[in-house]
Amino acid sequence: MATAKSDAFVFFGATGDLAYKQIFPALQALIRNDHFDLPIIGIARSDWNLERLRERARASLREHGGIHEQAARKLCRLLQFVNGDYNDPATFTQLRKTLGEAKHPLHYLAIPPSMFETVVNGLDAAECLHGARVVVEKPFGRDLKSARELNRVLHRFFREQDIFRIDHYLGKEPVQNLQYFRFANSLLEPLWNRDHIASMQITMAENFGVQGRGKFYDEVGAIRDVVQNHMFQVLALLTMGAPVNRSADAMRDEKLRLFRSMRSLQPGDIVRGQFEGYLKEHGVARDSKVETFAALRIHMDTWRWAGVPFFIRAGKELPVKCTEVLVRLKNPPQQIFDDVDSSAVNFFHFRLSPDVVISLGARVKQPGEEMKGHPVELVAHHDTHTEMAPYERLLGDAIDGDSTLFTRDDSVEEAWRVLDPILGDRVPVHKYKPGSWGPKQADALIADAGGWNNPRLDPPHRVNT
């Protein structure tokens, strides 16, 4: 049973892309800020050695955030190396020796999901699982069936509380602030229901394409890459009920209730798009029907949310890089002033990136004789500071055994249940021009709810009303 702090960090995939971009910098930050002092055992194939792994770590730090000399030196000192292929049992025998007296290793699987079963089998056979935790990277399956299968494999070796599924979005400061802002204030809760809220929309816009990762992306697409996980998590934090306390399961129970209330999507609830030029990207099938854009309409069957539509839009090659939420409140019941015709007289606006904004939209009267007004935004919070990197927070939590910010098996499966009916090519994919807001069909999806709010970055905290 793993209730104690982990005492070794076993790093599968230490030579990979994710390790390079995120994990070495997070480990350096943990060493600097959190007195991280565990052996880090990197496992890589035969043409590597410890020196090469140290060089790789330093190169990663140089390129992603910079070297902090003292911490980088300590990181290199903590690094150990096991040479071998994951298909070879000798790799795990060697790992067992290297673990020495460690009683609570944390096995971090920054590897393709197709290798998970091989690796946990190898760990089991070499007796590396006693007292262990495992951290797995998304995707947690490709659909409901494969998600169940993945959970089945993991549960053969680990109890659910020892499995840490990383969705790095949950480690982001502004995403945590959504939850904090909702439940640390009494302001929102009386309004946060079908009586006052007309609709919610979440936009995750990227102003770039697949950035050389065409082969990876073409097997995934926008729905699997960011909607099933990041966007659904944001939606859950916006709409779930208040947890009874801050424990990991209290939070995750509320999320599960929320996912359970979501209706399974029907083809009419989704628009898929693909930017023009995608088929020429390296690694992309010439006849690919994979979506680089998705817009979805979601309904929840609860007393709180019945009848309120929720919209999610995520896409590549859109005009800006920005993630934000717009919560539209219902209009006043009676229109006394002629100029009040906007579909978003009152709204809450949460920008999650590139800067962090929490604001409330309202109208105020313009000075003068006429009863005419203009929209204003009351900015509660605007922050451009760099945040604690999500991986620093999440890996630190996993080492401590705190699973609050990790997704649970049941929620993962419920999220797939919602999306399962519209996965693959069941819904046509429409072309859109790079630099546009996606295919025009996406506008029709939300027309009855006041249309999309297309984020503008200048000025930074203004909603387009």
Residues that bind ligand NDP (CB under 6 A): 13, 15-19, 21, 44-45, 85-87, 110-113, 115, 137-139
Cβ of residue 210: shortest distance to ligand NDP, in angstroms? 12
Give the Å distances, CA to CA, from 181 to 35, 61, 188, 257, 359.
30, 33, 9, 21, 11
Annotated active-site residue in 104, 107, 168, 230: 230
Nearer to ligand NDP, 215 or 382 (CB): 215
Nearer to ligand NDP, 87 or 247 (CB): 87
Q: Write the single-letter amino acid at 217.
A: Y
Q: Which residues contact 280 (CB under 8 A, 6 or more apart)?
A: none
Nearer to ligand NDP, 141 or 315 (CB): 141
Cβ of residue 136: shortest distance to ligand NDP, in angstroms? 8
Rounded Cα distance, 270 and 148, in Å: 24
Q: Write the single-letter amino acid at 187.
A: L
The neighbour count for residue 373, using CB atoms within 10 Å, is: 15
Nearer to ligand NDP, 96 or 381 (CB): 96
Residue least distant from ligand NDP (Cβ) = 16
Cβ of residue 11: shortest distance to ligand NDP, in angstroms? 9
Select from 161, 105, 237 the least CA-distant residue to 402. 161
Phi-psi region of 121 (alpha: psi -120 to 50; beta: other; left: phi over 0): alpha
Helices and strands, number each (H, E), in the chain:
15, 15
Nearer to ligand NDP, 83 or 342 (CB): 83
> Is 230 one of the catalytic residues?
yes
Cβ of residue 212: shortest distance to ligand NDP, in angstroms? 11
Select from 43, 217, 204 the least CA-distant residue to 122. 43
Give the Å distances, CA to CA, from 233 to 123, 166, 243.
31, 12, 15
Cβ of residue 88: shortest distance to ligand NDP, in angstroms? 8
Cβ of residue 53: shortest distance to ligand NDP, in angstroms? 10
Nearer to ligand NDP, 33 or 211 (CB): 211
3-state secondary structure 200-226: EEEEEECCCCCCCCHHHHHCCHHHHHH
Cis (ω within 30 of 0) for the bond into 333?
A: no
How many angstroms separate the first and last alpha carbons of the chain?
54
Nearer to ligand NDP, 17 or 160 (CB): 17
Rounded Cα distance, 41 and 84, in Å: 12
Cβ of residue 19: shortest distance to ligand NDP, in angstroms? 6
Rounded Cα distance, 4 and 190, in Å: 40
Residue 340 and residue 274 in contact, taking contact as beta carbons nearer than 8 Å: no
Catalytic residues: 230
